Amino acid sequence: MISVEEALRTIFEKTPSPAVEVLALEDTSGRILAEDVVSDIAMPPFDRSAMDGFAIRGIADEYRLMDEIPAGVQPEPVTEDGYAAPIMTGAPVPEGADRVVMVEATSVSNGRLTIRKMPEAGANICWEAEDITKGQTVLKKGILIAPAEVGIAAMAGRETLPVYRRPVISVLTTGSEVIPPVHIPKPGQVRNANGVLITSFLSQSGFSAVKVFHSADDPESLKNAAAQALSMSDILVTAGGVSMGTHDYVPSVLEDLGFNFHFRTVAQKPGKPFSFATDQKGKMMFGLPGNPVSVLVGLEMYVLACLRLFSGHERYHREELAGKLSGSLRKKSGRLNFFRTKAELTGDGWILSTPATSGSGDLMSARGTNSIAWLPAESTGAAAGSSVPFTLMSWAGGESCWE
């Protein structure tokens, strides 16, 4: 049995380096950029008007009007003081004009423009290259691409971007007693919550499962399902069948399929029978226990960190915060304990409260929680008011969960 820290270190060491793929610009949001993006032009590419108004030259009591300048045309220059050209937002400012006066500050009568309030020289003009210079790096390798970055890449002349590939993930739930959610359980049966729990977790974290499989506790059926799942994915996430029982066949089946287990138990609660294996092709397998709270903890604390590293995220270590307990926590020494908690930021810092029940099969107790706190293996508990380490759950903290 290894420690939580050693388990994470092993997973990170065995995670393959991220691969690169090229996607159409509109498909890159949520991905990690694999190379710097350099603008091939200046932005703005010309002096342009920041608003509807009049491009004028010089100071005069009134101005003679020139032809209107809409966006997308090359205007005639203003060669003399006392001339004004009506101009639209985004249109090129004509050569010789020294400012743009907003419409609201002007009046026009008999073809003459009068300005009620004269702006300063240069007012309301977006000057060429004031935002971006030609050849400037506008997006750095390693950033998370969001809609703003997509737009910037388009302005820099890109139709496609190289991004780090996301892993293809398959899910395998196990158990002869596990039935589809729409079925009424008979004595000894339970509904399959883990399949949708895992897929929904992956989805809200920016990933997806290519397919969800289920197998009874039968070595041959399990081997067929696992082989099929692995044939279409980089990572297999299983739930159930990884403990030491006589019907826990997942480890032996994966070994038959060429996987080497780096660990099969972790000194933690919940989720002690948590396993991790790889094969010679670089495929990975996470074996989660069958209890749904253990599944949730395993996904948050291990699987998601691996997925981020695989996908090129530079931040894949959990951000550790500190919070004060509103009540006491008790535990036995020997294993690190994870506690699902509700974290609230107050004027006195983070306050952590825990649900009334904490069993690893009690998924209802996870409702309303937004964080995971922990006490080290040697601890026997913590009193109310004690400061303990915690991390926000990924859905609650987003990118702030990571460092």
Per-position b or e across 372-394, b if 16+ CB within 10 A of its CB = bbbbebebeebeeeeebebbbbb
Q: Are residues 354 and 373 in the same domain?
A: yes
The pLDDT of residue 248 is 83
Query: Do 182 and 270 reside in the same domain of the chain?
Result: yes
**Do 156 and 254 fall into the same domain?**
no
Residues 118 and 189 in one domain: no
Judgement on whether residues 257 and 213 belong to the same structural domain of the protein: yes
Residue 362: predicted pLDDT: 80
Q: Are residues 228 and 282 in the same domain?
A: yes
> Which residues of the chain fall below pLDDT 50?
none
- Spatial separation of the C-alpha atoms in residues 1 and 254, rounded to whole Å: 19
Q: Is residue 315 part of a domain?
A: no
- Per-residue pLDDT at 271: 93
Structure confidence by residue, pLDDT tens digits, 295-332: 999 999 999 999 999 999 999 999 999 999 999 999 99
Is 349 within a domain? Answer: yes
Residues 221, 205 within the same domain: yes
CATH number, domain containing residue 83: 2.170.190.11
List C-alpha distances in Å: 297 to 140, 148, 282, 329, 379: 33, 33, 24, 18, 20
Residues 158 and 115 in one domain: no
Whether residues 192 and 272 fall in one domain: yes
Rounded CA separation 33/31 (Å): 6
The identity of residue 380, as a single letter, is T
- Determine the pLDDT at residue 361: 67
Residues 76 and 190 in one domain: no
Provide the residue range defining the domain that includes 119. 48-126
Q: Which of 310, 330, 353 finishes a domain?
A: 310
Judge if 269 and 281 occupy the same domain.
Answer: yes
End position of a domain, from candidates 246, 277, 310: 310
Q: Of 310, 338, 369, at which residue does a domain stop?
A: 310
Cα gap 147→193, rounded to integer Å = 34
- For CA atoms 64, 90, 53, 133, give the dihedral sign: negative
Domain count within the chain: 4
Q: Is the pTM of this model over 0.85?
A: yes
Confidence (pLDDT) at 360: 64
